[in-house]
Amino acid sequence: MKRRNFVISTLSPLALSACGGGGDGPGFPPFPVPPPAPAPEPPPSTEALARKAMRRAAGFMDETVSYRGGYVWAYLPDFSTIWGEMEARRTMCWIQPPGTPTAGHCMLDAYHATGDELFYSAAERTALALVEAQHPAGGWNYIHDFAGEASLREWYATVGANGWRLEEFQHYYGNATFDDAGTAVSSQFLLRMYLEKRDARFLAALQKAIGFVTQAQFSSGVADGGWPQRYPPSPDAISSMPLPNPQQLPSGATAGMEDGDYTRHVTFNDDVAGENIKFLLMCVVALGDQSLVPYITRAMDCLRRMQQPGPQAGWGLQHLATDQNGRLAGAPAGARSYEPRSLATHTTQTNVQQLFNYFRLTGDRGYLARVPEALDWLDSCKLTDTMIAENPLLKGRTHPTFVELGTNQPRFVHRYGSNIHNGAYYVDHDHRATPSHYSAGRAIDIAGMRQTYAQLNGMSDTAIQQMVAASPLRHGEQRPLPKYFSLREVDFADLFADRVMTSPVVSAADAAAVMDKLDPKGYWLAPLAAVTNPYKGDGPSTPYTGDAYRSKHVGDVFDTSPYDPADPPLIEPYVKKEQPQGITVASFVANMGKLIAFTAPVA
């Protein structure tokens, strides 16, 4: 065999053919030629992996975390407990950022980055949840319960009523609020959803939101153009507020709401005016609705009118909308029981910065005219070194939060008791032992504001004309809004015609690090800095004379206020615990934002 094989292998092709090795006759088949090996597929790019991770995360949030498209703030991974600003129920959604509209903005941003309809569907579902949660007047409450009005009222009467430091949840008003930008951010999101595909379902809700913002403005007197905290009015909504025990108040202290229902005063707390003006400007830009300009102008002028006369040329958290108890409209007013009648240094800083914005929008130098007075007042009321040394909570702060009218002395908030039923807040001049949940001091950047003032005040008329030509108030052309809303807050400057709102720079390594932390199920975990005591009934009204709770976020175990488990009151049964890991809307939005900016940056 070996010999024969050798002979055959050496025969010429002609001989092989004669032996039947070729042609049509029988013989050996031709040797098959193997196909070329397929080229190895290149590994997926980091951008492709980022898109895949975004899909997984958004799908989990939409399908598993949300309730009918609505979100709260934080969830234990097994969903046994969930929270907004307080413990929530599974049928609830939270409107306050970072809640439902915050998640919706993120989903829509992911759609803008990828064009993937999965993200639009998630955003659409969240927008429809907000439409359902919208108050008939057009705004939004802090929370909505899909289980219905009776369920929400029961929550307010139990969990809400026992949150000692959360007075906005201790009473069910039945109306909507401008506080904490919930209505503003929801309105912005519905504006974007309508613009995306001109869906009529969102147009009606958007028109209601615009009507709510414009109708809620005060319409006469010194308060004209300003906004209350809540609307429509809800008379006697806080009449059941527990009254302080005079026997437990230090000499000279004041307590309670000094000017009644704070929800009907002109509100600057949490920059209500600035947020509403910004939303109306977005409507002017994106819808071309010039009819909203007078509402914006009235609001800007209200802020300017509310500045107090020198030498205390600042603003309070709230101001009287009408004459009240011998005090004139426009005077600073008390708000919640830990927000006394006073001037507020942080509000003054915010309002000065808004005056800078209003000058940029209009070119009207009148908005700058009294800024130096405000800065001089801020220079006059700084914290002393002794105050800072004797109160650890004042470290890193330059100014007291509240300054007394007339005397220019700091006013400091304190509290006694252990829960809402035996405790209360009071105010005096003692800078020590202040609450941790509401800062007694603020970091005020006077030098930075003076520098900005000098730059703006020194502008030539020609430079001002060029600036105003691009203003969303004056430009006059309908234009798109910025591409992304969840990567950072959209500010006034981003709405000018000559500006592009760029995205943060995210490297491939940064994007990979974000993806590495994504659980296979599709969520990111984050430490939860706030937990709560479960509702267990009303706390005792028996006076508590200790001091275990005076500078903590929470009172006794009957208090449903959120607190850091790593820093509880130093009294049984509290013990220090590590912060639990949970799923949060804030961490979802932050991580998605990095992947969005990496995938489709705006340069």
Alpha carbons 344 and 316: distance in angstroms, whole number: 5
462 and 516 both lie in a single domain: no
Q: What is the per-residue pLDDT for 261?
A: 86
Q: Which residues have CB under 8 Å from 461's CB, separation 6+?
A: none
pTM as predicted:
0.92
> Is the domain of 300 the same as that of 392?
yes
Burial of 520 (0-12, 13-18, 19+ CB in 10 A): exposed
Q: What digits encode the pLDDT tens for the residues 8-50?
A: 333 333 333 333 344 444 555 666 777 877 777 778 999 999 9
Domain-located, residue 102: yes
Q: How many angstroms separate the CA atoms of 71 and 212, rounded?
A: 23
- Which phi and psi angles does 434 have, rounded to 5°? -90, 160
Q: Which two tokens stand for residue 260?
A: 């009644």
Terminal-to-terminal C-alpha distance of the chain? 77
The per-residue pLDDT for 28 is: 58
Quote the CA–CA distance of 156 and 154 in Å, as a whole number. Answer: 5
524 in the same domain as 440: no
* Element of type H or E holding 315: none
Domain-located, residue 513: yes
Per-residue pLDDT tens over the stretch 216-270 = 999 999 999 999 999 999 877 766 567 788 889 999 999 988 898 889 999 999 9
Residue 233 maps to a domain: no
Domain match, 378 and 509 both: no
Considering the domain architecture, whether residues 171 and 272 belong to the same structural domain is answered as no
- The pLDDT score that the predictor gives to residue 244 is 82
Which of 98, 73, 103 lies closest to 88 in space, CA to CA?
A: 73
* Nearest partner of 444 among 495, 411, 504, 401, judged by Cα: 401
DSSP 327: B
Burial of 102 (0-12, 13-18, 19+ CB in 10 A): buried
Contact yes or no for 205/134 (Cβ under 8 A): yes
Structural contact between residues 263 and 165, judged by C-beta atoms closer than 8 angstroms: no
303 with 357, same domain: the answer is yes
Does 167 map to a domain?
yes
Closest CA to 471 of 192, 189, 277: 277
CA atoms of 11 and 7, how far apart (whole Å):
6
The CA dihedral of 186, 190, 193, 197, to the nearest 10 degrees, is 180
Residues of the chain with pLDDT under 70: 1-31, 238-241
The alpha carbon dihedral of 187, 304, 495, 598 has a sign of negative
- Residue 566 in any domain: the answer is no
What is the total count of domains within the chain?
2
Residues 200 and 268 in one domain: no
- The reply to whether 193 and 108 lie within a common domain is yes
Last residue of a domain, one of 495, 510, 542: 495
DSSP 3-state of 87? strand
- Euclidean distance between CA atoms 300 and 277, whole angstroms: 8
**pLDDT of res. 99:** 98
Residue 105: closest CA among 601, 596, 479: 596
The SS3 call for residue 72 is: coil
Structural contact between residues 48 and 512, judged by C-beta atoms closer than 8 angstroms: no
The domain containing residue 135 runs over which residues?
44-215+502-529+580-603
Last residue of a domain, one of 445, 473, 495: 495
Structural domain includes residue 111: yes
- Do 484 and 509 fall into the same domain? no
Q: Single out the residue in 495, 517, 548 at which a domain terminates.
A: 495
Give the integer Cα–Cα distance in Å for 330 and 265. 9
417 lies in the same domain as 303: yes
Q: Which helix (H) or strand (E) holds 530?
A: none
Residue 564 falls in which region: left (phi positive, over 0), alpha (psi -120 to 50) or beta:
beta
DSSP string for 170-187: SS--SSEE-GGGHHHHHH
- Identify how many contiguous H helices and E strands the chain contains and give both numbers: 17, 19
Q: Quick check: helix, strand or coil at residue 550?
A: coil
Same domain (yes/no): 191, 265: no
Residue 475: count other Cβ atoms within 10 Å of its Cβ.
17
Contact 223, 238 (CB under 8 A): no
Residues 206 and 275 both lie in one domain = no
204 within domain boundaries: yes
